[in-house]
A and B are shown apart, each in its own frame.
Chain A
């Protein structure tokens, strides 16, 4: 997810890299070095299990409303997105133990689609830790759900990409077996962001729940899906300042529709589409 620029990916090289990494991981896992520091993000500091029906817990969640213009962005949240975000129960609700974000096709506020974007800005922010959610993703061309973190803007004194962005999970609905994790920072934002995709073998992200998370500590971020760690980024991996050793960052959950990255919905895209979130949990390093 990026706030202001177009976005491209080189899927082939990402795939190749992911194969290499898996090979490396398999080899290194046979060779546990007893002196390595194992981060144990085991102390739960925030969790929303979405067990109370109705509107999401207002002690944790805020909403972005509209098409981005109220946030000082061009309409479409800077990405040509087509949805109008609302906090109506039509677009965001908790039912049967899951958070449901629903993207609908309807005329609303000069937009053709509605959806929701929840954020913990000002309510829960943290530097480092393990951020994890169990999610079932929507399906279809033009759907662009995400689970991501943005750095606090120090009351507007800092702007993106200097504030830093960690995309724990992004996905486009016409590639139902692939997610990607990304960082944006100064010199590596939007189309230049540092990203890696993870493709499920013989499975999909829209048929059942999967777990998406990062382990984030000083000078590193690890991305995982279910029980597979598929990427690690460190300051050496980004062509600019590593802006992730300062914080804090807040959490965003959203379903975007259309725009430069996923493309727009086509006649095969079925609405409404839902992203279901079973839980979101944040841990911190128990050694801290």
Chain B
């Protein structure tokens, strides 16, 4: 008996020691170690602004065309309660600004939105005009801080409708100050594109808040427009992944919608970080020679689309143009101011070309990959009647690269007209064709193409440069000049 009792006592002592040990382990984190907790307020505007700055609405810069007159609160038209936000969108010819837009900011240090999955509101419009809406934009955020901005385009209807803007990855939003963002321009009743005939209209927003809906699907991130693309580049170049088509698709209750989310929501992965690294702003920096594949994830979901980067090492700089600017009308060069803007990605049907602008500031070049045919389409025609040549610098890493350059005058009607059977100019168009052949591998070749032939008598409406063949080359310093 005594022995048994003794055994029990030993057990008690043992348990006691364990308890003390366990208790001893339990201590509070020091104040420095505890994450600050920000309020989780969901409401942004119900019948009044909720927890927003006294300013309530901060407009985009009027100097950039933002019209500050149209923002207000309406106590006659509302979805629920006693008021809504009313936005009078200006016409495109309004002298006080041709669009309206701005943001709502949290009046405190920001809110913890990790418990929500969407921004929601009820909307109503006098027309079926579209509004860009979102959250996560704060004009005061330093550029070095990552933005968690999200936006999507919604179409208003003549009856109240609930709109949902999913939060791409709520776990990132531990302290968000950008509560709402919107921008809208005049309604285009003819649907004939932005041409200055857009009319004024009005829309209302009510019951604006963050919600945990539970009906938002998993995100379907899409990078590089969903394509598996490959580019040939060089050390020192940068690739903007956002500009290459970064978006997120969702369905909410079975309805599909698409939002664009800031790069900080995404995780960019480079398979070979000796070749390229990607920062939180979605900028891939090529730092060495070799190949790497860049893929993208959002909240653990791998994005459709990838980018295979092949770096040939350092790219030598193109020869610096020496001609006086007065003798030059430039299309693309860091040495001259461009005579017109140009579209380097015209997206011709059947074109397989990928065009990417890369390089440090002042050293930008256009990289063409897998070119069959593409073009550089001038925003405004160039009058080259007093000019004599087109200059182009070309670089390639591939032996046997030949690039056919077609300088097109598009005539007084301002349209590119091409015979679909022959590929030659049609209507009032003329062109001059030149093949840059025998390019030196690994060095820049400068070509100067005389504006002669069919252009000798018609070169006052130059509208495009068509590029055929290659297929892989780099262009720089594209300009017309006078000898």
Contact = CB atoms under 8 A, between A and B. Distances in A.
B408 interface: no
Interface in B236-265: 249, 251, 253-254, 256
A176 B253 CA distance: 6
A121 to B, nearest CB: 33
Nearest to B258: A268
B218 interface: yes
A107 to B, nearest CB: 20
B215 A202 contact: yes
B217 A175 contact: no
Contacts of A174: 251, 254
A207 B218 contact: yes
Contacts of B212: 202
B215 A176 contact: yes
Interface in B167-223: 212-215, 217-218, 220
A177 B215 contact: yes
Interface string A199-226: 0111110110000000000000000000
Interface of A is mostly: loop
B217 A139 contact: yes
Interface residues of B, number: 12
A270 interface: yes
A204 B213 CA distance: 10
A207 B214 CA distance: 9
A140 B217 CA distance: 10
A204 B217 contact: yes
Tell me the interface secondary structure of chain B in the complex: loop
Given A268-B256, A270-B220, A176 B251 contact: yes
Contacts of B249: 268
Contacts of A177: 215, 253-254
A176 B215 CA distance: 8
Nearest to B214: A202
Nearest to B220: A270
Interface residues of A, number: 16
Interface string A119-156: 00000000000000000000111000000000000000
B214 A204 contact: yes
A202 B213 contact: yes
B273 to A, nearest CB: 30
A202 B116 CA distance: 12
Interface string B350-374: 0000000000000000000000000
A175 B254 contact: yes
A206 B253 CA distance: 11
Interface in A164-214: 174-177, 200-204, 206-207
Interface string B325-340: 0000000000000000
Interface in A206-265: 206-207
Nearest to B117: A202
Contacts of B220: 270
B253 A207 contact: no
A204 to B, nearest CB: 6
22 contacts: A139-B217, A139-B218, A141-B254, A174-B254, A175-B253, A176-B215, A176-B217, A176-B254, A177-B215, A177-B254, A200-B214, A202-B213, A203-B214, A203-B215, A204-B214, A204-B215, A204-B217, A206-B218, A207-B217, A268-B249, A268-B251, A270-B220
Given A176-B217, A206-B217, A268-B251, 18 more contacts: A141-B254, A174-B254, A175-B253, A176-B215, A176-B251, A176-B253, A176-B254, A201-B214, A202-B212, A202-B213, A202-B214, A202-B215, A203-B215, A204-B214, A206-B218, A207-B217, A268-B256, A270-B220
Interface of B: 212-215, 217-218, 220, 249, 251, 253-254, 256
